[in-house]
Structure 1
């Protein structure tokens, strides 16, 4: 590729998001409300509510706060592909999956690392600079149109 067509690396290091945490809590509260309205016996309802609470705890711990060792901290997109860095310091090459969502207010990057690992990164203007988010959207759309 000629020198004038080379793109610099795009480094994505999202901040924590109170809005995303609030949305996570709201959706889990809605799920719990639906479970309470369903005509179920006490034991199955209690088990399902426990699963909703555990899911909320995991989502807050691993996704919103990023405290799990496998929490995705940084993604770097260069000409060699995607490089991911996790909270425990591990760095891995990754493949961006076609299930990645690209919209103006929100980009959700879905990756595959190895055989069974599928980390994701949720990006809004709250967690990453608006200009960086715009650059990412443009590059992703150009890549999709090229394939």
Structure 2
């Protein structure tokens, strides 16, 4: 690609989102409420409630607060592709998957990191700058279709 068409790398370092954390909790509370409404015996109901509680705890710890060592903290998209940075300091090359969601107010980036490892990044204008979000959305629509996996 010629120099006049070369684009600078996009570096995404999302902030923590109170709204995404609240949404996670509300969705899990709704799941617990449904468990209370369906006719189940006490044993299976308690087990399922425990799984819902573990799920919300894990989601808050690993995704919203990004405190797990494998939590995705940074993604950089350059001419060479995607580079992901994790909480434990490791950097890995990644491939952007076609299951990535692009909408006006929400981007959900799905990555394959290595053979069996996947990572995702949920972006709103609350967690990254609105101009960076616009640039990323535009570049994904333009280059994502021409270069699958990048």
State TM-score, norm by structure 1: 0.98
1:99 aligns with 2:99: yes
Aligned to 2:142: 142
> What's the counterpart of residue 83 of structure 1?
83
Q: Is 2:57 aligned against 1:57?
A: yes
Structure 2 equivalent of residue 124 of structure 1:
124
How far off is 1:116 after superposition? 1.3
Distance in 2 between the 1:5 and 1:33 partners? 53
Distance 1:30 1:43 in 2: 20
Report the equivalent of 1:109: 109
Aligned to 1:4: 4
CA RMSD of aligned residues (A): 0.7
Work out the number of aligned pairs and report it.
147
Gap runs ≥5 in structure 2:
none
Counterpart position of 2:15: 15
Q: Please state if 1:24 is matched with 2:24.
A: yes
Shift of 1:85: 0.3
Listed one character per residue, the Cα deviations across residues 63-96 of structure 1 (whole Å, up to 9, x for unaligned) are 0000000000000000000000000000000000
Which runs of structure 1 show a deviation greater than 6 angstroms over 4 or more consecutive aligned residues? none
- Give the Cα separation in 2 of the matches to 1:74 and 1:144: 19
Deviation at 1:22, TM superposition (A): 0.3
Q: Deviation of residue 115 (structure 1)?
A: 1.2
Q: Describe the superposition over 1:94-120 as per-residue Cα deviations: whole angstroms up to 9, x where unpaired.
A: 000000000001000000001111110
Q: Report how far residue 140 of structure 1 moved.
A: 0.3
